[in-house]
Structure 1
């Protein structure tokens, strides 16, 4: 984890322009998908490929902005941290799942019993006292 304190800066004009361009490219891809699908002349697979190309282009444009570099840095640090995780074995996972299932069943039975007792107290005893 990065422990350096970095001052936060506002996005520069070039970054804002790149982000607007990325949004426009993506919007154009989505618009083209629906526009060319209205008459049915272009197959859906080709239109979907166009949207995917627009998405990749928008992500590529956005990756070269300051927020895009921060996202790439975050993803790189996340991958580094994921390598440090000690995952449970299959046996540990099965045992833990079994324990959780037993606890859920016991607690649901206990809550059902409490509900039954409270229902009988309220309906049978308290309401009969008032009559």
Structure 2
């Protein structure tokens, strides 16, 4: 009866092997990028991107890779639900922030000047 309870989930050993392959692809891509430094930068970048894409495809075949992929897809879905401000709202908010920063800067400058004047007066060093 216990033979019927088998699941289709891969073993942790096969996941580790897949992660090692993915890391080896990335390390190999970086090493190749510098090994063939005399070649065109465009070709080296394309080669590196292809190996990174292969590494991602291998990594997604693991359990943790699949969960990370689902997380990224859910994040993309949530990002599409965000209501972004239009240009008018962005300009208005920026102006309010600049006005508040200027006001706080002037208040702090005034307080600093007052404290500096007070300390000079108390120490008798002011003219």
TM-score (structure 2 length as normaliser): 0.80
TM-score, scaled to structure 1: 0.77
User: Higher helix share goes to which structure?
Assistant: 2
Unpaired stretches in structure 2, ≥5 consecutive residues: 1-10
**C-alpha distance after superposition, 1:4-50 (max 9, x if no partner):** xxxxxxx812111111110111101111121222xx3x333322222
* Cα distance between partner residues in 2 of 1:100 and 1:18: 50
Give the root-mean-square deviation of aligned CA atoms. Answer: 1.8
- Larger RCO of the pair (alpha carbons < 8 Å, separation 6+): 1
Matched, 1:46 2:19: no
1:115 CA drift (Å): 0.8
Number of residues of Structure 1 aligned to a counterpart in Structure 2: 115
Render the CA deviation track for 1:105-128: whole Å, top value 9, x for unaligned: 000011011111111111x22222
Structure 1: unaligned runs, 5 residues or longer: 1-10
